[in-house]
């Protein structure tokens, strides 16, 4: 299976809940390596740019308002089948529909405050990783 990279964000609700370490443990236990990481309080422009694919959607303003409501932790993860593996760990977008034992089922409160973001495909992973990390700040082992 291919070694992939994906972009993960621990959103403001999960940072505020003090569960960064618990979420990192789930990545590590699933064989995903953290190869870059930073904490950042996104500006509106940065959040809008990151979620630009959703700018015409009805939930766009709520999404941006939420993403700038507090600091986030952003990381690039690397491992076998990393994109899908990470999405599986996250669970469904709406925590009410997320499978038991997933990050969103365990830590998220609503479809807006849903704890984590993960890239959804190889091409978006590449764009999203470069949005936050220059190549020099990625430490693949």
Residue list, annotated binding site for ATP: 11, 59, 87, 93, 104, 114
CB distance 51 to 63 below 8 Å:
yes
Binding residues for ligand RTP restricted to 99-118, rule: CB under 6 A: 111-112, 114, 117-118
Binding residues for Mg ion restricted to 12-41, rule: CB under 5 A: none
Q: Which of residues 101 and 139 has its CB atom nearest to ligand RTP in the complex?
A: 101
Question: Which DSSP helix (H) or strand (E) runs through 26?
Answer: helix 20-29
Q: How far is the CB of 34 from ligand RTP (least distance, A)?
A: 17
- Catalytic site positions: 117
Write the DSSP string, 60-124: HHHHHHHHTSS-EEEEEEEEETHHHHHHHHH--SSGGGSPTTSHHHHH--SSSS-SEEE--SHHH
Q: Which of residues 88 and 120 has its CB atom nearest to ligand RTP in the complex?
A: 120
Binding residues for Mg ion restricted to 110-129, rule: CB under 5 A: 120
Phi-psi bin for 40: left (phi > 0), alpha (psi -120 to 50), beta?
beta
What does the binding site for Mg ion look like in residue numbers (CB under 5 A)?
Answer: 120
What does the binding site for ligand RTP look like in residue numbers (CB under 6 A)?
Answer: 54, 59, 63, 93, 111-112, 114, 117-118, 120
């Amino acid at each position: 299976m291919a070694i992939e990279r994906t972009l993960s964000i621990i959103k403001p609700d999960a940072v505020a809940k003090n569960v960064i370490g618990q979420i990192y443990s789930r990545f590590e236990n699933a064989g995903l390596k953290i190869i870059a990481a930073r904490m950042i309080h996104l500006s509106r422009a940065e959040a809008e740019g990151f979620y630009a694919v959703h700018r015409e959607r009805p939930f766009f303003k709520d999404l941006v308002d939420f993403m700038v409501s507090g600091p986030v932790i952003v990381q690039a993860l690397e491992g076998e089948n990393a994109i899908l593996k990470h999405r599986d760990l996250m669970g469904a977008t709406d925590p009410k529909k997320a499978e038991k034992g997933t990050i969103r089922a365990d830590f998220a409160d609503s479809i807006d405050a849903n704890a984590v973001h993960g890239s959804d495909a190889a091409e978006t992973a590449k764009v999203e990783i470069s949005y936050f990390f220059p190549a020099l700040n990625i430490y693949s082992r």
